[in-house]
Structure 1
Amino acid sequence: MAVYRPLTNAESERVGVAALASGRIVDVEGAGTVQTMDLAPNRTGPLVISEVYAPATLNAELQYNFHMFFELYNNSDRPVFLDGLTFGIVQLPDIAAPVASCDESARFRKDPDGVWAEFLHRFPGSGGQYPLAPGDAVVVALDAIDHSVVDPRLPDLSNADFELLGFGDVDNPDVPNAVEVGLRSWFHGHGLLFYVSHSLFIANEVDPASLERAVWSLSSGDLTLIKIPAADLIDVMWTERDDALQDQRYERCDGVVHKNFDQLGGGYLPGGGNLSLSAQRIRLPGRAGAAGGLQDTNVSAVDLVGAPITPGAIR
């Protein structure tokens, strides 16, 4: 359940915010049930994840996973440098491949002091090499190649701004690499896959060796995670897939990350090989072309919309 209220121009000028929102997963017991929601204001951060394209294609028609990309947008009125920034996904077992209860995963999902992850990448550069101007976007491709040769519905990402590099990759020499710096490499060797239904985050440069670690003992084996501190998190996007069957088969936990970072997943993209849509951040009302123009209320359910892919462009 999500609640959202855009402010009028007059209200926005008076209080300095443009939208209020809140959201959470709730069990409604019956007609007449009252739920109280405290609406938090949008925040204008310097850098936001503006688009995620990660439809699953593992079916009989097409078995291919390397077409994924995400987009970063400078939502401020001054340049932002990408050098050294870290990004990754929150991929807990009860979300991706349920082998644990929501109670067992709560200590990781509901940690107000940060997000827990296993797979991380870092942007290249040591300072001042990769500026992003206000209102500009960059595309980060899993593989910076023309994927339409595999299937015409897939995008041409050969002109992406960055690509992920893993141990089994074919490297595009014209595109800078974001290298793996997590606890281990992603299984396919192309860098981490960020399926819709994961929570993707961007953070300041961190040293994984110095971060807090925890071992989670599961029936499938021990899982080691590291915590990205809240103070280093720049933006979090929690995407969801419209999958009623998954919801029926598995217990749906009340959040992937703490509500301080994102309160309710959004995007709600269809599964089953629909390759035309991505999860995209919407514009704040009346803010087209302005600094801080993309909405960031920390409620992905109202910040995101499913729309035809637009790598490098803002709708």
Structure 2
Amino acid sequence: MEDKALGLQYFGDALEERGHLLTEQANPASQNLDQLTSLELVDLFNREDARTIAAIAQARQALAEAIDRITVALRQGGRLFYVGAGTSGRLGVLDAAECPPTFCTSPEQVQGIIAGGAAALVRSSEEIEDRMEDGAEAIAHHQVTSQDVVVGITAGGTTPYVHGALHAARQRGATTIFIACVPVTQASAQVDVDIRLLVGPEVLAGSTRLKAGTVTKLALNILSTGTMVQLGKVYGNRMVDVAVTNKKLHDRALRILCDLTDLTREEAGYLLERSGRKVKLALLMHWTGLEKEAGEKLLADYQGNLRKALTEAIA
């Protein structure tokens, strides 16, 4: 245990010099930032933010591999954890929090872990990110196993909390994914999938809540949505696993049913209630004539994939 602690401390010390990192460098395009008009500021930010799209395109292969690995893990009962500090941690928590209403996942299936816990979501706790052992402890606390996937998010690639978490996750046999906005040569990571989102220096030097934060949000959108598509949470481009928990989502569920069928809104409402407010099941019942219990069984046989269940029903 002492050797492990010493190893973590050594690694943390090695990361203290960060001035060479791409995310810490000054951007030549914004050297006169404090002299620009409001319109010039907007135009500059817009030009620089365009780099986020190019960065996603350059990371397309790694993003696709990450989706495939996460899909396999979740299909086998594993969980997805996002781990980060500061802005990176908040983005992970945000993406995790949006999965249950959008895809009707359980809160346990996709989780966000942020250095400093829930308090760090609304109040900066930057010093906490420097402790690798805290990241390792978070992995232990969540009882991460070899079935799970841990995504470490750190714009500058060096956050000790994230590296501690990834190191602990690897020791437990979990699949590990790394997201950073610096080249591998500036901050390496021993992980299964290494995603580099190279957007260049920030308009405001070192403020990674800007381009780095934007491109990270884009990447997390792709990872979670792509995974849920592969898991059969989507039919066509409709969120047929939407959780009907408020008026807006109830209206969305009815519109999905009406758009994909010949039902009136009143008929769709009746069908939705018969299905237990499950859009996917309601569609299956309508298209096959199955009752609720039989439809649930058929969907379960095909791991919730509506298209595959329909193919079997009409074969």
TM-score range for the pair, normalised by the shorter chain length: under 0.3
Larger Rg: 2
Which structure's residues are more often strand, by fraction?
A: 1
Q: Tell me: higher relative CO, structure 1 or 2? Use CA pairs within 8 A at least 6 residues apart.
A: 1
Question: Which TM-score applies when normalising by structure 1?
Answer: 0.23
State the TM-score, normalizing by the size of structure 2: 0.23
